[in-house]
C-alpha cells in the first residue's frame, strides 16, 4: 500500500511495511482528494481503487520511460552520425564525452584505441635507436 500511495505521489515517508504517521497522513490525503471520510484507515473498496490507480500510473511511467529511452537513443544515433562515424580522433572523443555509455561507445573506444596505437607505432618508428654506433665517418 505504501508503494502504491507513493507511486500516486502521496508521501508515506518511506516504504517500510509499517503504517506510521507518514502512511496515515498519506492515506488521509488520498481520502481527502477522492472525497472519502479522512479516517486514515482504508476500506476494501478504497484499497482496490488505490491498486487500480497505481496500476494505471505504473503503466504511464513505463510508457514515459520508453519514450524517453527512444528519444535518448535517437539523439545518441544522430550525434554519432554527426561526429563519431567520421572516425576522426577529436570526433570520437566528443562522442564518448557526451555518450560514455552510448550505443556506439564500444565502437568509438575501439577506434580511438586503434588511433592511439597507430600514433604510438609511428612515434616509435620515428625515434632513432639508442646505443647504435654511427657508421658514417666524421
In this prediction, residue 94 has a pLDDT band, given cuts at 50, 70 and 90, of very high
Domain boundaries, the chain: 1-71, 83-125
User: Which residues lie below 8 Å from residue 51, measured CB to CB, with a gap of 6+?
Assistant: 4
Each residue's pLDDT tens digit, 8-55: 999 999 998 888 999 999 999 999 999 999 999 999 999 999 999 999
Predicted TM-score (pTM) of the model is 0.65
Contact 108, 76 (CB under 8 A): no
| Local structure of residue 86 (DSSP, 8 states) | G
Contact 30, 8 (CB under 8 A): yes
- Helices marked H in 9-88 — which ranges? 21-33, 44-82
Contact 107, 86 (CB under 8 A): no
Cell of 41: 484507515
User: What pLDDT sits at residue 21?
Assistant: 94
User: Max Cα separation, the chain?
Assistant: 107
Amino acid at each position: 500500500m505504501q508503494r502504491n500511495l507513493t507511486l500516486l505521489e502521496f508521501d508515506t515517508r518511506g516504504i517500510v511495511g509499517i503504517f506510521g504517521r507518514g502512511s496515515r497522513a498519506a492515506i488521509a490525503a488520498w481520502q481527502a482528494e477522492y472525497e472519502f471520510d479522512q479516517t486514515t484507515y482504508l476500506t476494501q473498496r478504497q484499497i482496490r481503487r488505490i491498486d487500480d490507480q497505481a496500476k494505471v500510473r505504473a503503466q504511464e511511467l513505463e510508457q514515459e520511460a520508453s519514450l524517453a529511452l527512444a528519444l535518448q537513443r535517437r539523439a545518441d544515433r544522430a550525434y554519432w552520425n554527426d561526429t563519431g562515424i567520421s572516425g576522426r580522433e577529436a570526433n570520437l572523443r566528443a562522442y564518448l564525452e557526451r555518450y560514455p555509455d552510448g550505443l556506439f561507445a564500444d565502437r568509438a573506444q575501439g577506434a580511438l584505441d586503434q588511433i592511439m596505437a597507430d600514433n604510438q607505432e609511428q612515434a616509435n618508428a620515428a625515434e632513432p635507436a639508442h646505443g647504435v654506433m654511427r657508421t658514417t665517418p666524421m
